[in-house]
Amino acid sequence: MKIVFFGTPQFAVPTLEKLLNDSKFDVLAVVTQPDKRRERGNKLTPSPVKAIATAHSLPVWQPEKVKKDAEILTKLKELDADVFVVVAYGQILSSKILKMPKLGCINVHGSILPKYRGAAPIQWCLYNGEKETGITTMLMDVGMDTGPMLEIATTPIGLLDNTQDLAERLAAIGGDLLVETLLKLERQEIQPIPQDNLLATYAPLIQKEDYGLDWSKSAIQLHNQIRGFYPNCTATFRNNLLKITASAPLGSVGRIPPELQELIPKLPDLSNVSDKPGVVVNITKGIGAIVQTGEGLLLLREVQLAGKRPQSGWDFVNGTRLTVGEVFGAGR
């Protein structure tokens, strides 16, 4: 099967590698986003997909806007591919491109469609506290993740999973599901299923204002925000910005979630602990600070001071000499 692969971030790499390591598939070329300048040294850095493609001596094309690049459109047409595979490419494909391959364009999407269409399905699914997510392969059309579905694979979400954990798991699932999808499609064993637009939800790009923590929210809401928008959620501490990169919701006062039962022997009795949102109500030796929220308590498992590396909640307590009664402010 002759394939052109469209993809950019690390999430797309396992799928590309699956195709490259399977003799049933012939990856003709890779289309990825242009190299970007990174903060350190301001050097141009290739995308993870480009790095893999280059290592395999594949042709790599990096148009600024693929649907308007006449040279790339001509090259794509001339390849006469059976299918275009698209995984987190980052650009909209025109109807002209979608019609080029014999079997169509297949997208590997990080949610159970029609929920979480859009650019950030993994982040918003965690933010909303979903207990399950998955990968959907679909035939692309001109809409935003609106094409008919081909195959779906699901995975449970653990309480302490963050975006990075879930993305790694889903990326691996996506590679396997795509191979299964392509083989079934070639054998005409799949009947595409239209999405129910009435059930659709959207997962837009994350904005800077999404990162700020509001301590009047419940512990579980704050925890879902921290893990969903990992590692960028912020609070203020002693008038400085502080990233909170890992947490654990201790639930309504005195009620510890089953996933955190191993903490119980280390924690004090929290049944009568209460204060204003943002106040440090307890410091547990070897673990870290426990903060009052609008409902329930939040354990700070990992934080990052400006200009510093992430550190455990306990190291943060020791390094700053944090005391009970200190207050964390809202992030920004």
Name the band, by pLDDT with cuts 50, 70 and 90, for residue 28.
very high
- For 242, phi then psi, to 5°, come to -135, 125
Q: What is the arithmetic mean of pLDDT over 235-256?
A: 83
Name the band, by pLDDT with cuts 50, 70 and 90, for residue 75.
very high
Per the prediction, the chain carries an average pLDDT of 93
164, 243 Cβ separation under 8 angstroms? no
Tens of pLDDT, residues 247-303: 999 854 445 667 676 776 677 777 777 789 999 999 988 889 999 999 989 999 999
| Count of C-beta atoms within a 10 Å radius of residue 50 | 22
pLDDT at 20: 97
Q: 332 versus 317: which is more confidently predicted?
A: 317
pLDDT at 253: 41
Q: Is this structure's pTM higher than 0.75?
A: yes
pLDDT at 39: 64
Name the band, by pLDDT with cuts 50, 70 and 90, for residue 44.
confident
pLDDT at 31: 98
Residue among 177, 5, 175 at smallest CA distance from 82: 5
Measured distance CA(44)–CA(37) in Å, rounded: 4
pLDDT at 96: 96
Residue among 91, 85, 7 at smallest CA distance from 51: 7
Question: Of all residues in the chain, what percent are helix, strand and coil, respectively (each to 5)?
Answer: 30, 25, 45
Name the band, by pLDDT with cuts 50, 70 and 90, for residue 307.
confident
pLDDT at 254: 47
Tens of pLDDT, residues 102-152: 999 999 999 999 999 999 999 999 999 999 999 999 999 999 999 999 999
Q: 273 versus 79: which is more confidently predicted?
A: 79
* Cα 240-242-247 angle, rounded to 5 deg: 150
pLDDT at 274: 78
**Residue ranges in the chain assigned as alpha helix (H):** 13-20, 48-55, 70-79, 95-98, 121-127, 163-186, 219-228, 313-320
What residues have CB less than 8 Å from 237, skipping those under 6 apart? Answer: 320, 328, 329
Q: What is the arithmetic mean of pLDDT over 22-45?
A: 88
